[in-house]
């Protein structure tokens, strides 16, 4: 309404300006004519916008009915404008539906468009009346105007006529978009209808309107989940084949030149290596067609593409959407909230998608409360050992904020970081203790609650330098000043749970609390009763009478929970003679091992809904929501997507389209045909390439080519042969130069190295935390050398050493073994021998042989004990997924040159820690650094150690891998890796660059 009024005012000002020009201009001049045209446009806009501000239109429906039945198109157009204005203002004008539906046969294009707009709005509610005009709608489906075809399609989808799907054969993107929206309304599960049109839809997706793009991407996401195999289950298959980009008719890309490959970043090479792995060719088409839409100006389109990549793309390719989603955070607060909600769900499963954009989630002073909560949750999910110091530094500033609610949310985030990253638990605990002296009761209360959780998680950790007694005593002192009930209850719980650590303080705390029992909050009273019950066992001499006094007060409390608790405690702990059998188990009832606190965020709960859906935002299933199906184990026949209707007709090496995609005309102009016939030879060659490519893709039999095609192919071959001859000459020249260098002693001689790895194991990692398994800690590391007497039966498996420690004080673990396994195809775990028992404080070791069939998929299984089953996951470490390969210097050189076409390389600046000595000292440092972190065999090096060569064999695919390290400057190093296993080579390159830059 406001926008309409402003528009009228703006148009009025323009009208006054043009009247001024008319008054002072020559009526026969050009300026006069142009001014009058502008004047008519402005007046027309003013006349249209007045419908939104005219209140008189609300009372003239009877008159509108008469005019709609009349013969004048001008009056009908006026009435339809009034009706559309009423609809936009929320008024129900369905009573004129019979009069409007009669005008679908109108010949006036503007009137017909307005009628269709009205019918789309009311067609479903007035279903029977709309069916009267179904014949007219069907005739409009073949209208020359794409606007009329699309409008008719939208109306028919509103009344749910299945025959509309025939318009998927249309080549207009406007009609195709409307057809996809109709598909969602009429038959969203009939994916068999889409098979023949799938490739055309993917190819033309970029030209759809933005709303149609959003709907179509959603449909294609669900289609892909039913028609293609999970990409991560096949991406590392041993029988993987190279994917050739030029074999597809829809590919616009050529193979990159070698120079371009050298300029690529490691990240782009990583994606290119994934392109080389085989997934279904139509699956790849969908991903490539949607990728450019990440640059769309529509936020909904970007969100839809991000959802598609998250659900159907390989894990490593899904990282491409991170930057585009972060860009949406600069939009309006509403868009920011939707984007953050989706990102918070994504980071629960794939935090590496957004780790490079950590600073984008830092909180600004203008951020609303709902954005602050989501950003804090995302930051805690992105926290790792490398970036935690940066995040905690940011949190330190947030805690000082004047908004105490914001500060309290930050304290909760600090607690989550401390719980998930053990390395910072101590520093976070000390930081939270410093907040206990804050002037704000809200901040102090939140710090107390978080400290309680951290104490419960780390109370039995003997390696911690934190003195928990000091923390508990510090908390006990706060009871004199702290008034927030939740914080007081948390402190009392901590004192009761760990009263054996402060035996002199706990009874005095109970004495003070007994005085104020009647004035305490209900939650505090319950914790006082629990404290008294626990001290009844630990220190009955000092607390027995106090406990009876508190129970007598609780018997007359207004809250029935407190009264019931007091009666039960009196029966079990004081009047024990009435129930001796039950009283004998009283200690195990009140003093036992408490479950460790777990916090399930709302973002994890949202994972059950599709990203970007309304159900995902409100976190419950709304009407009409359809969940995403799982990938099929065996994908359906891909030949069903072979196009039969959308095939360009080829004649005399010229593409003749039946009709243009974007034109309303049926035939091409003759002048355009003549101009096309006179095209250059270079264009003819391109057309012949495309023609051969199409025929190769669509042909069902190996028919012989025409002589003209044969000539075209021979010309192409001759051009290629010239390039090959030139390249061969260049290679021979390079070889001759190398021979001359060796003849005159210019080339450096590579000496064989006799250096083994400085370590026999990888870095230890935690497999099972003690606070999760009630005291059983399991660490693991990859063994590079097997112990004597142990043999590895499979060359594709790795040996992992498990170190089991019982950190509990009383609990004995028995029958420790491997439980249920959840493995991908081709993966396997050889169980270790069952461990009969593990006493408190005892340690033992076990060997595990694991066959990984993926470099990104973890092997998930359960550790089964007498206490319960605990799920764990073994993640492959790229540095341990290769084994040393013994080769001599000449053999290394020959194999390295033979794999020139399968090479990845990059250069990087060396980190400061490696610098400081001479060139040879730097080479030795690089050599030992790589051998320590990656299971390689150092083959050879030159005298100054500026060139170092390594060899290895990949575990999964048993492919030879060769690495060349060259120090080109004082602080520059070039890394080149060649192997037929391009995925492992690319990941190893990334790993080595990270090591060298640290």
Q: Give pLDDT tens digits for 365-416.
A: 888 988 999 999 999 999 988 888 899 999 988 988 888 889 889 998 998 8
- What are the beta bridge partners of residue 802? 780, 846
Find the angle CA(367)-CA(372)-CA(376) to the nearest 5 degrees: 140
The mean per-residue pLDDT over the stretch 608-631 comes to 88
- CATH number, domain at 786? 2.60.40.1150
Backbone angles phi, psi at 822, to 5 degrees: -125, 95
Per-residue DSSP letter, 362: S
Q: Check whether residue 885 and residue 871 sit in a common domain.
A: no
Measured between alpha carbons, how far is residue 289 from residues 198, 199, 325, 580, 635 in Å? 12, 10, 18, 76, 21
Confidence of residue 185 (pLDDT cuts 50, 70, 90): confident
Q: Check whether residue 872 and residue 908 sit in a common domain.
A: no
Question: What is the pLDDT, as a whole number, of residue 608?
Answer: 87
Q: How far apart are CA 495 and CA 532, in angstroms?
A: 11
pLDDT above 80 for 245: no
What count of other Cβ atoms lies within 10 Å of the Cβ of residue 633? 9
CB 453 within 8 A of CB 419: yes
Q: How far apart are CA 762 and CA 757, in angstroms?
A: 11
Question: What's the residue count for the chain?
Answer: 998
Q: Check whether residue 870 and residue 892 sit in a common domain.
A: no
Q: Identify whether 237 is part of a domain.
A: no
SS3 at position 538: helix
Helix H, strand E, coil C: the string for 301-361 is HHHHHHHHHHHHCCCCCHHHHHHHHHHHCCCCHHHHHHHHHHHHHHHHHCHHHCHHHHHHH
The lowest-confidence range among 81-95, 190-204, 237-251, 427-441 is: 237-251
Confidence of residue 272 (pLDDT cuts 50, 70, 90): very low
pLDDT above 90 for 289: yes
For residues 472 and 244, which has the higher predicted lDDT (pLDDT)?
472
Strands 835-838 and 843-851: unpaired
Question: What is the pLDDT, as a whole number, of residue 33?
Answer: 53
Q: How far apart are CA 355 and CA 338, in angstroms?
A: 20
pLDDT in tens, 319-335: 889 999 999 998 888 99
| Helical (H) or strand (E) element with 583 | helix 580-583
pLDDT above 60 for 47: no
Q: How far apart are CA 347 and CA 956, in angstroms?
A: 28
The lowest-confidence range among 572-586, 883-897, 912-926, 937-951 is: 912-926
pLDDT in tens, 654-674: 333 444 444 444 344 444 444
**Domain count of the chain?**
4
Q: Identify whether 371 is part of a domain.
A: no
pLDDT in tens, 129-154: 666 666 677 777 777 788 788 877 77
Q: Check whether residue 867 and residue 790 sit in a common domain.
A: yes
- What are the beta bridge partners of residue 859? 874
pLDDT above 70 for 459: no
Domain boundary among 592, 621, 639: 592
Backbone angles phi, psi at 980, to 5 degrees: -70, -20
Closest CA to 223 of 289, 272, 161: 289
Q: Check whether residue 806 and residue 845 sit in a common domain.
A: yes
The lowest-confidence range among 242-251, 639-648, 685-694 is: 242-251
CB 935 within 8 A of CB 988: no
The mean per-residue pLDDT over the stretch 88-115 comes to 81
Q: Check whether residue 940 and residue 862 sit in a common domain.
A: no
Q: Check whether residue 554 and residue 496 sit in a common domain.
A: yes
Q: Identify whether 393 is part of a domain.
A: no
CB 878 within 8 A of CB 855: yes
Percent of the chain with pLDDT over 90: 16
Question: What is the pLDDT, as a whole number, of residue 496?
Answer: 87
Measured between alpha carbons, how far is residue 764 from residues 169, 585, 743, 799, 859 in Å? 60, 42, 50, 14, 17
pLDDT above 80 for 756: no
Domain boundary among 287, 309, 331: 309
pLDDT in tens, 191-217: 888 888 899 999 999 999 999 999 999
CB 957 within 8 A of CB 238: yes
pLDDT above 70 for 276: no
Question: What is the pLDDT, as a whole number, of residue 64?
Answer: 84
Q: How far apart are CA 873 and CA 764, in angstroms?
A: 14
Question: What is the pLDDT, as a whole number, of residue 95?
Answer: 82
Confidence of residue 181 (pLDDT cuts 50, 70, 90): confident
Q: Check whether residue 204 and residue 297 sit in a common domain.
A: yes
Residue 814: give the domain boundaries.
Answer: 765-876
Burial status of residue 888 (CB atoms within 10 A of its CB: 0-12, 13-18, 19 or more): exposed
The pTM is what? 0.51
The mean per-residue pLDDT over the stretch 278-289 comes to 88
Helix, strand, coil percent values for the chain (each to nearest 5): 60, 10, 30
The mean per-residue pLDDT over the stretch 722-746 comes to 46
Confidence of residue 220 (pLDDT cuts 50, 70, 90): very high
For residues 266 and 102, which has the higher predicted lDDT (pLDDT)?
102
Backbone angles phi, psi at 417, to 5 degrees: -65, -45
CB 991 within 8 A of CB 878: yes
CB 217 within 8 A of CB 311: no
Domain boundary among 261, 292, 309: 309
pLDDT in tens, 117-132: 887 777 666 656 666 6
Q: How far apart are CA 885 and CA 937, in angstroms?
A: 6
Q: Identify whether 24 is part of a domain.
A: no
For residues 391 and 47, which has the higher predicted lDDT (pLDDT)?
391
Q: How far apart are CA 553 and CA 556, in angstroms?
A: 6
Q: Identify whether 758 is part of a domain.
A: no
CB 872 within 8 A of CB 779: no
The mean per-residue pLDDT over the stretch 269-283 comes to 60
The mean per-residue pLDDT over the stretch 290-316 comes to 92
For residue 71, give every residue at least 6 positions away whose Cβ sits within 8 Å of its Cβ, in sequence order, or none.
none
Q: How far apart are CA 417 and CA 125, in angstroms?
A: 53
For residues 160 and 496, which has the higher predicted lDDT (pLDDT)?
496
Strands 937-941 and 751-752: antiparallel
For residue 452, give every residue at least 6 positions away whose Cβ sits within 8 Å of its Cβ, in sequence order, or none.
490, 491, 493, 494
Residue ranges in 132-235 assigned as alpha helix (H): 134-140, 146-158, 173-186, 198-204, 210-227, 231-234
Question: What is the pLDDT, as a whole number, of residue 683?
Answer: 41
SS3 at position 791: coil
Average pLDDT, the chain: 76
CB 933 within 8 A of CB 960: no
First to last CA, the chain: 59
- CATH number, domain at 908? 3.30.310.10
Q: How far apart are CA 790 and CA 461, in angstroms?
A: 34
SS3 at position 976: strand
Give the range with max mean pLDDT: 359-368, 748-757, 787-796. Answer: 359-368
Q: Identify whether 172 is part of a domain.
A: no
pLDDT above 60 for 5: no
Question: What is the pLDDT, as a whole number, of residue 166?
Answer: 65
Instruction: Encode 214-253: b = buried (16+ Cβ within 10 Å), e = exposed.
Output: bbbbbbbbbbbbebbebbbbbbbbeebeeeebeebbbeee
pLDDT above 70 for 244: no
Question: What is the pLDDT, as a whole number, of residue 664?
Answer: 43
Q: Check whether residue 225 and residue 304 sit in a common domain.
A: yes
CB 882 within 8 A of CB 936: yes
Confidence of residue 605 (pLDDT cuts 50, 70, 90): confident
Q: How far apart are CA 836 and CA 978, in angstroms?
A: 47
DSSP-derived secondary structure for 429-456: HHHHHHGGG-S-HHHHHHHHHHHHHHHH
Q: Check whether residue 870 and residue 890 sit in a common domain.
A: no
Burial status of residue 179 (CB atoms within 10 A of its CB: 0-12, 13-18, 19 or more): buried
Q: Check whether residue 968 and residue 938 sit in a common domain.
A: yes
Q: Identify whether 96 is part of a domain.
A: no
SS3 at position 532: helix
Q: Identify whether 826 is part of a domain.
A: yes
Q: How far apart are CA 279 and CA 231, in angstroms?
A: 6
Q: Check whether residue 573 and residue 531 sit in a common domain.
A: yes
């Amino acid at each position: 309404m406001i926008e309409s009024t402003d528009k009228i005012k703006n148009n009025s000002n323009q009208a006054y300006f043009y009247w001024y020009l008319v008054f002072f201009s020559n009526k026969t001049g050009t300026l006069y004519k142009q001014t009058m045209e502008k004047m008519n446009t402005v007046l027309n806009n003013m006349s249209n916008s007045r419908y939104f501000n005219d209140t008189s239109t609300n009372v003239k429906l009877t008159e509108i009915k008469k005019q709609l039945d009349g013969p004048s198109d001008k009056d009908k157009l006026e009435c339809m404008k009034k009706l559309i204005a009423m609809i936009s203002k929320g008024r129900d004008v369905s009573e004129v539906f019979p009069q409007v539906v009669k005008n679908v046969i109108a010949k006036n294009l503007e009137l017909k468009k307005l009628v269709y707009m009205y019918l789309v709005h009311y067609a479903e509610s007035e279903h029977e009346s709309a069916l009267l005009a179904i014949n007219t709608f069907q005739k409009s489906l073949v209208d020359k105007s794409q606007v009329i075809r699309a409008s008719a399609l939208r109306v028919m989808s509103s009344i749910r006529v299945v025959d509309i799907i025939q318009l998927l054969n249309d080549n207009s993107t406007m009609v195709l978009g409307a057809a996809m929206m109709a598909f969602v309304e009429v038959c969203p599960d009939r994916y068999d209808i889409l098979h023949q049109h799938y490739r055309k839809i993917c190819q033309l997706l970029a030209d759809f309107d933005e709303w149609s793009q959003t709907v179509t991407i959603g449909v294609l996401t669900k289609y892909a989940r039913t028609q293609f195999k999970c990409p991560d289950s096949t991406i590392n298959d041993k029988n993987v084949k190279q994917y050739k980009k030029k074999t597809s008719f829809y590919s616009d890309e050529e193979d990159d030149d070698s120079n371009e490959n050298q300029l690529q970043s490691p990240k782009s090479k990583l994606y290119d290596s994934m392109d080389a792995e085989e997934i279904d060719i139509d699956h790849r088409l969908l991903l490539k067609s949607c990728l450019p839409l990440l640059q769309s100006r529509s936020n909904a389109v970007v969100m839809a593409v991000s959802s598609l990549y998250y659900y159907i793309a390989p894990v490593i390719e899904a990282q491409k959407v991170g930057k585009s989603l972060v860009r949406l955070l600069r939009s309006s607060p509403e868009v920011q909230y939707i984007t953050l909600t989706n990102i918070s769900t994504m980071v629960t499963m794939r935090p590496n998608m957004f780790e490079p954009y950590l600073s984008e989630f830092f909180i600004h002073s203008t951020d609303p409360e709902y954005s602050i909560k989501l950003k804090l949750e995302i930051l805690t999910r992105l926290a790792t050992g490398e970036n935690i110091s940066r995040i905690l530094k940011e949190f330190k500033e947030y805690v000082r904020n004047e908004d105490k609610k914001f500060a309290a949310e930050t304290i909760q985030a600090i607690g989550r970081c401390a719980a998930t990253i053990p390395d910072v638990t101590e520093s976070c605990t000390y930081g939270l203790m410093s907040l206990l002296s804050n002037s704000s009761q809200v901040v102090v209360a939140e710090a107390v609650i978080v400290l309680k959780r951290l104490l419960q998680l780390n109370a039995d950790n003997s390696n911690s330098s934190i003195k928990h007694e000091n923390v508990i005593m510090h908390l006990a002192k706060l009871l004199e000043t702290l008034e927030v009930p939740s914080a007081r209850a948390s402190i009392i719980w901590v004192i009761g749970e760990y009263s054996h650590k402060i035996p002199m303080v706990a009874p005095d705390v109970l004495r003070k609390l007994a005085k104020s029992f009647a004035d305490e909050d209900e939650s505090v009273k319950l914790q006082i009763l629990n404290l008294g019950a626990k001290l009844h066992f630990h220190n009955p001499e000092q607390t027995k009478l106090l406990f009876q006094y508190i129970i007598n007060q609780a018997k007359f409390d207004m809250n029935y929970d407190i009264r019931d608790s007091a009666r039960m405690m009196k029966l079990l702990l004081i009047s024990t003679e009435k129930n001796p059998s039950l009283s004998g188990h009283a200690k195990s009832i009140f003093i036992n091992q408490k479950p460790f606190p777990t916090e399930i965020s709302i973002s994890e709960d949202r994972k059950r809904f599709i990203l970007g859906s309304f159900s995902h935002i409100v976190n419950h299933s709304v009407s009409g929501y359809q969940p995403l199906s799982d990938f099929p184990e065996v994908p359906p026949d891909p030949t069903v997507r072979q196009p039969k209707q959308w095939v360009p007709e080829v004649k005399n090496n010229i593409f003749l389209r039946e009709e243009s995609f974007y034109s309303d005309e049926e035939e091409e102009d003759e002048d355009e045909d003549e101009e096309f016939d006179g095209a250059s030879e270079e264009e003819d060659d391109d057309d012949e390439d495309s023609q051969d490519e199409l025929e190769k893709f669509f042909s069902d039999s190996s028919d012989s080519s025409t002589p003209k095609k044969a000539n075209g192919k021979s010309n192409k071959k001759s051009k290629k042969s010239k390039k090959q001859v030139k390249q061969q000459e260049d290679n021979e020249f390079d070889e001759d130069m190398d021979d001359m260098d060796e003849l005159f002693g210019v080339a450096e001689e590579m000496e064989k190295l006799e250096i083994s790895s400085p370590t026999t194991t990888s870095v230890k990692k935690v497999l099972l935390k003690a606070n999760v398994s009630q005291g059983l800690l399991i660490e693991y590391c990859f063994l590079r050398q097997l112990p004597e007497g142990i043999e590895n039966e499979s060359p594709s498996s790795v040996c992992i050493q498990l170190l089991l420690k019982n950190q509990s004080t009383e609990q004995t673990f028995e029958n420790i073994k491997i439980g249920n396994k959840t493995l991908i195809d081709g993966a396997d775990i050889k169980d270790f021998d069952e461990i009969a028992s593990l006493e408190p404080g005892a340690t033992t070791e076990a060997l595990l042989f694991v066959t990984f069939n993926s470099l990104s998929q973890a092997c998930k299984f359960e550790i089964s004990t007498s206490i319960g089953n605990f799920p764990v996951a073994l993640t492959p470490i790229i540095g341990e997924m290769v084994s040393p390969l013994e080769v001599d210097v000449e053999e290394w050189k020959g194999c390295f040159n033979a794999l020139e076409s399968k090479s990845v390389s990059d250069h990087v600046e060396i980190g400061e820690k490696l610098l400081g000595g001479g060139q040879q000292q730097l080479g030795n440092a690089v050599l030992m650094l790589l051998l320590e972190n990656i299971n390689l065999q150092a083959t050879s090096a030159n005298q100054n150690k500026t060139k170092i060569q390594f060899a290895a064999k990949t575990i999964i695919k048993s492919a030879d891998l060769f690495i060349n390290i060259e120090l080109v400057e004082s602080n520059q190093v070039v890394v080149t890796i060649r192997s037929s296993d391009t995925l492992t080579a690319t990941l190893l390159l990334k790993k080595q660059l990270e090591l060298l830059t640290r």
